[in-house]
């Protein structure tokens, strides 16, 4: 059996008296567009930060592309694409300089060609020489999206993929993610926007107050004639009263 692209076992993160993530275990298979769903504050961003080696778990373990995240966090980050929810590009660089910086770090030989492609694809080439601090939120999000995919990773982890995008760009990005997994890659997103997950995800997990409530597929819900929205709300509301 092929090893999962992402695997977690009892992953836990505690901050003082707060348990942000509580013994979460799941796996993501190659070629999935996997959605980690949950209300704000449910632990989704903490999960991504642990799975990419940005913070260490209090307990449990995670593997990404066969690498132990705690033992080789740099190796993980070298091989994946990451879009954090809040992080912005360096304010003192222009958009072009930032992508060239990413290219230098990742040793991308054709960075000029790839940079030009992303400026055209995400329709912000008129902003390529503008300092990042002067870019709008939407344009900074385009730049962060470009840096995550510019090295063509086999796996990308994205926290709230459509935040700050207008409806036109949301469609462009959703189509891109769908085609990316069709090409054999894997995408992991965290979001609280259920309509997005139901539209583009193949698999999903529901997290609430740090606890994993369910893992499954969108197809399974469809076969049962259940909407993701109703299923999600039922589980979360039930968990609130436990």
pLDDT above 70: residue 242: no
Listed in sequence order, the residues at least 6 apart from 125 whose beta carbon sits closer than 8 Å to its beta carbon are: 116, 119
pLDDT above 80: residue 236: yes
Q: What is the pLDDT, as a whole number, of residue 19?
A: 94
pLDDT above 90: residue 164: no
Task: Give pLDDT tens digits for 2-44.
Answer: 789 999 999 999 999 999 999 999 999 999 999 999 998 899 9
Q: What is the pLDDT, as a whole number, of residue 161?
A: 87
Task: Give pLDDT tens digits for 69-121.
Answer: 999 999 999 999 999 877 678 889 999 999 999 999 999 999 999 999 999 99
Q: What is the pLDDT, as a whole number, of residue 10?
A: 97
- Positions of E strands within 44-161: 59-64, 67-68, 80-83, 155-159
Which pTM does this prediction carry?
A: 0.94
Q: Considering only CA atoms, which of 75, 10, 28 is closest in space to residue 36?
A: 28
Task: Give pLDDT tens digits for 205-231.
Answer: 999 999 999 999 999 998 988 999 999
Instruction: Kindly state the DSSP code that residue 71 receives in the 8-state scheme.
Output: T
Q: Binning pLDDT at 50, 70 and 90, where does residue 1 land? A: low
To which residue do tokens 């086999």 refer?
154
Diameter over CA atoms, the chain: 55
Q: Which residue has better confidence, 164 or 142?
A: 142
The predicted model gives 186-199 an average pLDDT of: 94
Domains and CATH numbers, the chain: 6-240 (3.40.50.300)
Helix (H) or strand (E) holding 192: none
Q: What is the pLDDT, as a whole number, of residue 240?
A: 76
Cβ–Cβ < 8 Å for 165, 123: no
Report the DSSP pairing between strands 33-37 and 155-159. unpaired
């Amino acid at each position: 059996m092929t090893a999962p692209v992402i695997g977690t076992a009892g992953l836990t993160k505690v901050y003082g008296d707060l348990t942000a993530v509580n013994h979460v275990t799941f796996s993501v298979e190659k070629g999935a567009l996997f959605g980690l769903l949950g209300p704000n504050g449910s632990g989704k961003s903490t999960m991504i930060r642990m799975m990419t080696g940005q913070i260490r778990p209090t307990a449990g373990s995670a593997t990404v592309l066969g690498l132990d995240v705690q033992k080789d966090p740099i190796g993980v980050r070298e091989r994946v694409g990451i879009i954090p929810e809040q992080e912005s590009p360096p304010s003192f660089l222009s958009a072009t300089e930032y992508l060239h910086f990413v290219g230098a770090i990742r040793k991308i030989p054709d960075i000029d060609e790839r940079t030009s492609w992303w400026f055209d694809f995400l329709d912000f080439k008129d902003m390529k020489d503008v300092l990042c601090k002067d870019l709008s939120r939407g344009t900074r999000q385009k730049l962060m999206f470009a840096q995550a995919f510019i090295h063509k990773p086999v796996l990308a982890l994205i926290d709230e993929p459509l935040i700050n995008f207008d409806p036109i760009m949301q469609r462009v990005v959703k189509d891109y993610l769908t085609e990316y997994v069709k090409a054999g890659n894997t995408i992991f997103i965290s979001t609280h926007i259920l309509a997005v997950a139901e539209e583009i995800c193949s698999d999903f997990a529901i997290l609430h107050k740090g606890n994993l409530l369910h893992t499954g597929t969108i197809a399974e819900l469809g076969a049962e004639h259940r909407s993701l929205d109703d299923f999600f709300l039922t589980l979360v509301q039930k968990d609130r009263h436990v």
